[in-house]
Amino acid sequence: LAACSSGADPAAYPEDDIDIIVPFSAGGPTDTVTRMIAEPMSQELGVQLVVQNVDGAGGTVGAGQAATAEPDGYTVLMHHIGMSTAPALYDDLAYDPIADFKPVGLVTEVPMTIVGSSDFEPTTFEEFVSHVQENADTVTMAHAGEGSASNLCGLLLMDALGVEVTAVPYDGTGPAMAELVGGQVDFMCDQTTNTTGQIEAGEVKAYAVTTPERIEALPDLPTTAEGGQPGIEVSVWHGLYVPAETPDEVVTELTDALQVALADQTVVDQMADLGTAPVAADQATPEAHATLLQEQTETWGDIIGAGQGG
Ligand code: MLT
C-alpha cells in the first residue's frame, strides 16, 4: 500500500502516492475503468495513483476496507451501482455507503450485455430466453458475488424469466470471463467494458444489451426490450469515494483531477471503444454523485427488498 501519510497536511496534498481500491479482481470492468482514469489523474496530481484490487463478497470487502482507511486522501475507492445495492443484500454490511464516505464524483455509466459461451446452444436472444426457461435446472450463470453488477443483472434476468438458474460466483468478472470463454459456465450479464473485446473477437455469443437503445460500439446487438424482455434493463454507474472525515480541500483536489481525466481524449476514446463514455462534467462532482447515490440506494432498496418479499 502507498506510504501512510497519517497527519498529512491537507494544504500540501498530495505529497505521496495514493491507493485507489478496486473492490473486484484485476482485469474486470471496474479494474479496467479505474486504470483508464488513474494515469491522467496521476499526471494531474503529480503523484502515482496505485490500483489495489481488494476483492471478495461482491465488492463489499474492498468498500469496507476503504470506509475505515485513514481519512487523509491517500485511500480512494472506485465503486459502482453495487454501493447502492449492498445494503439491501447484506444484513451485516460493515459500512454505510452514505454515512461512511464522501463522494468525489461520478465517472461513467456502463451498459451491460448478456453473453454466452461459444458452445452454449442458443444463438438469438429469443432462443436464449426459451432455452434458459426450459433448462433452468442445468444452466449456469457467472457473476461477481452478491452486490456486484453482474449479480444484480442476473437477479433482474431471473425475475423477468421467472426461473432460478445456478449462479456461480467469482471475485470479479475478469476471472468469470476467462471461464466463460473456456466453456466452464454457460452465460453472464456483464459490462461492455469487459465483454466488447470478446464479442468482437467471436470468443463469446452476444444476446442483448441492457440499455433502452442499442449502443454504437455494438450496433448489431439488440436490446432486451427488442427481445421482449424490457424488465432486464440496468446500466452500471461508477464513482470515486473517500472516507467520510476526509478534508473537503482534499476532495476538491481529487474532483478536479477526475474532471481533467474525464476530458482526456485518450480516456474518451478508450471508453468509446468499450461501449461507454465519461459522465458530463457537471456529474463528476461530489454533489451530483451524492444525489445519485442517495436516490439509487433508496430505489434498489425498494426493488430488492420487494424481490425478497421484504
Ligand atoms: C460486477 O459484476 O460488479 C463487476 O463485473 C465486477 C468486476 O468489475 O469484476
Share of the chain above pLDDT 90, in %: 94
Residue type (1 letter), 80:
H
| CA 274 to ligand 1 center in whole angstroms | 15
pLDDT score, position 8? 73
CB of 142 closer than 6 angstroms to any ligand 1 atom: no
Tell me the pTM.
0.95
CB of 174 closer than 6 angstroms to any ligand 1 atom: yes
Share of the chain above pLDDT 70, in %: 97
| CA 7 to ligand 1 center in whole angstroms | 34
Q: Following CA atoms 116, 166, 86, 241 in sequence, which dihedral angle do they give, to the nearest 10 degrees?
A: -30
| CA 148 to ligand 1 center in whole angstroms | 6
Which of 114, 150, 180 has most ligand 1 atoms within 8 Å of its beta carbon, as the pocket-test mutant?
150
Asked if 38 and 51 touch (Cβ cutoff 8 Å), the reply is yes
**Sorting pLDDT into bands at 50, 70 and 90, what band is 191?**
very high
Angle at the Cα of 289 from the Cα atoms of 50 and 172, rounded to 5 degrees: 50
Ligand 1 atom nearest the C-alpha of 31 is 8
> Which 3 state secondary structure label does DSSP give 86?
helix
Residue matched to cell numbers 461501449: 275
Residue matched to cell numbers 454533489: 287
| CA 50 to ligand 1 center in whole angstroms | 19
Which of 80, 173, 236 has most ligand 1 atoms within 8 Å of its beta carbon, as the pocket-test mutant?
173
- ipTM, interface predicted TM-score of the complex: 0.92
> Which 3 state secondary structure label does DSSP give 247?
coil
pLDDT score, position 1? 45
CA-closest candidate to residue 23, choices 72, 94, 71: 94
Give the pairing type, strands 49-53 and 18-22: parallel
| CA 13 to ligand 1 center in whole angstroms | 31
| CA 4 to ligand 1 center in whole angstroms | 28
Region of 73 please: left (phi>0), alpha (psi -120 to 50) or beta: left
pLDDT in tens, 15-35: 999 999 999 999 999 999 999
